[in-house]
Amino acid sequence: MKPSAGSTFLAACRGEPVSHTPIWVMRQAGRYLPEYRELRAKVDFATLTRRPDLAAEVTLQPLRRFELDAAILFSDIMTPLQGMGVQIEFAPGPIVREPFRTMKQIEALPPLVPERDVPFVMESVRLVKAEVPRGAPVIGFAGGPFTLLCYLVCGKPTKEFAAARASLYAAPQAAELLLEKLADAMAAYLTAQAQAGAQALMMFESWAGLLAPAEFRHFALRAVERTMKQLRPLGVPLIYYANQGGSLLADIATLDVDVVGVDWRTPLDVARRTLGERKAVQGNLDPAALFAPPQELRNQVQRVKREAGPRGHIFNLGHGIWPDTDPDAVARLVDAVHQGMP
Ligand code: CP3
């Protein structure tokens, strides 16, 4: 098979040969970019996510500066929950005004109707699609149900999300109901993004690594399966990223997705042995490596590419880019990834 002429990102998602390794960067639209900080000084974060013209502008900023192979919609994992009536502020992490602690609150959570509750998200996708440089594909995204539960129960970012993890043991049926509701809401949300033009869909499970495999399977993975089953008929590549998921890969291997995002703690050759040949991998340079001198950064890129192998690899960081990263280091990263063989 010859490398396809279209998007290298979409080809790599499907495990097809590519002329160069595609790259995008988790949290590529954000605070490390001076043009983002300039806009953000004038407009609060929630407004940026709700105004399609501004959300599209911020989405496109990194693609104008760097030869990135995909755009990720500028939004937040909590945005659809705001649309479902949950009061959330950003400072800068999400703060839930009334953390979920009772069955009554869970039962009262309504379903998400994207066109009614978050119409600006689909409008943002359409604006990005119309203007995206080099015809780069647009990735739609949502938070994983368990990660959303962590924020809803704890009410703010914490180190261990203790109250959320305790709730799985203290009130498992309430947790299951909340996860089912979130799974269905995220299925509706991601479907609407795909219908608006998103060409791939990604689920961020940022706090999966807090769970032991049995709890991961019972709570987090079951909910993700419920979402992914509803997305499969759309025909777009599905990406699942579990931060600190190294000990969960055998379970993630059973999930019907095209691509698995891997953090930097698990080498991609090791991850592939567990995930099998049919899944592509995305990752997994340590965000800290962007602070290396140029030659060492190139060495690190080559190592990641070697471990990933030539097919079914989308280069990325192992987690979001740090706000104090030098944008010039990102330019060097993109060049290094594109140089040479996949
Ligand atoms: O990747 C992108 O460029 C698209 C935009 C994006 C944001 N958040 C913008 C944002 C994406 C994909 C997210 C996902 C997100 N949000 C996750 C999953 C990915 C991960 O990093 O694990 C999580 C856990 C959140 C929740 C969240 N939102 C946190 C913890 C924070 C605090 C600060 C931070 O940047 O980590 C936010 C706020 C947020 N979301 C900002 C941005 C650019 C900063 C807000 C500001 O400008 O003040």
Take atom 10 of ligand 1 and give the residue whose Cα is closest.
Answer: 76
Q: Is the dihedral of CA 99, 102, 103, 105 positive or negative?
A: negative
Spatial contact of 203 and 143, defined as CB atoms under 8 Å apart = yes
Does ligand 1 come within 6 angstroms of the Cβ of 150? no
Does ligand 1 come within 6 angstroms of the Cβ of 24? no
What pTM does this model have? 0.97
Q: Give how far the C-alpha of residue 300 lies from the chain's centroid of Cα atoms, to the nearest Å.
A: 23
- pLDDT at residue 311, as a whole number: 96
Q: Which atom of ligand 1 is nearest to the CA of 48?
A: 47
**Ligand 1 mutation pick, 77, 316, 317, max ligand atoms within 8 A of CB:** 77
Please name which of 315, 305, 238, 311 lies closest in space to residue 15, comparing C-alpha atoms. Answer: 311
According to DSSP, residue 210 is labeled G
> What is the token pair recorded at 192?
């609407």
- pLDDT at residue 1, as a whole number: 57
Spatial contact of 329 and 310, defined as CB atoms under 8 Å apart = no
- pLDDT at residue 6, as a whole number: 87
Does ligand 1 come within 6 angstroms of the Cβ of 204? yes
Q: Is the dihedral of CA 124, 127, 133, 134 positive or negative?
A: positive
In the reported structure, the alpha carbon of residue 276 is separated from the centroid of ligand 1 by a whole-number distance in angstroms of 30
**Ligand 1 mutation pick, 36, 45, 76, 146, max ligand atoms within 8 A of CB:** 76
In the reported structure, the alpha carbon of residue 31 is separated from the centroid of ligand 1 by a whole-number distance in angstroms of 10
In the reported structure, the alpha carbon of residue 95 is separated from the centroid of ligand 1 by a whole-number distance in angstroms of 13
Take atom 11 of ligand 1 and give the residue whose Cα is closest.
Answer: 76
- What number of CA atoms fall less than 13 Å from residue 128's CA on the CB side? 37
In the reported structure, the alpha carbon of residue 93 is separated from the centroid of ligand 1 by a whole-number distance in angstroms of 7
* Residue 173 exposed, middle or buried by CB count within 10 Å (0-12, 13-18, 19+): exposed
The tens place of each residue's pLDDT in the chain, 342 residues long, gives: 566 568 999 999 999 999 999 999 999 999 999 999 999 999 999 999 999 999 999 999 999 999 999 999 999 999 999 999 999 999 999 999 999 999 999 999 999 999 999 999 999 999 999 999 999 999 999 999 999 999 999 999 999 999 999 999 999 999 999 999 999 999 999 999 999 999 999 999 999 999 999 999 999 999 999 999 999 999 999 999 999 999 999 999 999 999 999 999 999 999 999 999 999 999 999 999 999 999 999 999 999 999 999 999 999 999 999 999 999 999 999 999 999 899
In the reported structure, the alpha carbon of residue 27 is separated from the centroid of ligand 1 by a whole-number distance in angstroms of 7
Take atom 38 of ligand 1 and give the residue whose Cα is closest.
Answer: 93
Known catalytic residues? 27, 31, 40, 76, 151
Spatial contact of 316 and 284, defined as CB atoms under 8 Å apart = yes
Take atom 48 of ligand 1 and give the residue whose Cα is closest.
Answer: 92
Does ligand 1 come within 6 angstroms of the Cβ of 95? no
Please name which of 288, 289, 290, 284 lies closest in space to residue 306, comparing C-alpha atoms. Answer: 284
* Residue 85 exposed, middle or buried by CB count within 10 Å (0-12, 13-18, 19+): exposed
Does ligand 1 come within 6 angstroms of the Cβ of 80? no
